[in-house]
Copies of this chain bind each other. A is one copy, B any other.
């Protein structure tokens, strides 16, 4: 019998794709991190490259405010550039539209794109429109810049590193997934002042993304369920599994913890920064929980 996409989890699908791709000159980081990194040793800055899509009835519904959909489409990619320690630059927006879509939807969508672009200093460099017989499909490709010494990967974590998350987690589907704040200012401050060993943004939920960061860093991890910062009215399971938080997940040298926490409270008094666990030697890993984050290809439950 033929194997189908749904039988493999998302990570396995991605690994299957990555395995077959050849390496390339100047490509410092290829598929598998939040962004690709292009540049040479000695360059003053490296380029970050990111592509990301949102699909009607997967990431938003037709009745959602198109302005918020536009905001989300661009801010998801900005969040990935931020998580590498970078600054976003130029965006290309592809949008595939059903023929019966109202023109006002398109206008609203671009109003949201423009709003996010202005807020975070992104220039819309180009795009592509097509019709589709299926759901509305949006792809955003985004370039960014990062100073080599500020470039943070998923893979730099070390056993003993303290694991932090920004903000509060869980319940994003109630609406926050459409107007979250990408942590660009916070990430930029972090890499300049407390260079994390590893960092990524939380898109699929702590329960999926923490194991990814740990694995990329060849570490295990342990974490304290009770420590996880939850949004009002959300359970710990929701905070671990809901996804689309777009908060930062970072691994920091334990010697920096006290200074980091104090400086953060002064700089960002309204946004919590919470230590939720630590990276450990790989053999001692235990699965965080039966609760999993979002997996695009997991069998329906």
Contact = CB atoms under 8 A, between A and B. Distances in A.
A126 B30 contact: yes
A31 B97 contact: no
B5 A51 contact: no
B36 A90 contact: yes
A126 B96 contact: no
A122 to B, nearest CB: 8
A146 to B, nearest CB: 14
A106 interface: yes
A90 B38 contact: yes
B94 A129 contact: no
Interface in A266-288: none
A38 B99 contact: no
Interface stretch (A7-15, A169-177, A244-252, A256-264): A7-15
Given A10-B129, A126-B31, A130-B296, A110 B20 contact: yes
B126 A6 contact: no
Contacts of A3: 102-104
Interface string A139-155: 10101000000000000
A109 to B, nearest CB: 9
Contacts of A103: 2-5, 7-8, 16
B134 A5 contact: no
Interface string A101-136: 111101100110010011000011111111111110
Interface residues of A, number: 75
Contacts of A130: 53, 55, 58, 296
A22 interface: yes
A67 to B, nearest CB: 13
Given A22-B118, A124-B31, A129-B13, A139 B99 contact: no
A6 B100 contact: yes
A254 interface: no
A227 interface: no
Contact of A51 (B16, B101, B128): B128
Contacts of A17: 106, 110, 127, 129
A296 B103 CA distance: 15
Interface in A14-42: 14, 16-17, 20-22, 24-27, 30-33, 35-36, 38
A35 B126 contact: yes
Contacts of A118: 22
5 contacts: A36-B92, A49-B126, A53-B96, A94-B139, A139-B139
Given A58-B132, A133-B135, A134-B134, 10 more contacts: A4-B99, A4-B100, A21-B124, A24-B123, A51-B92, A51-B126, A55-B133, A96-B137, A132-B135, A139-B139
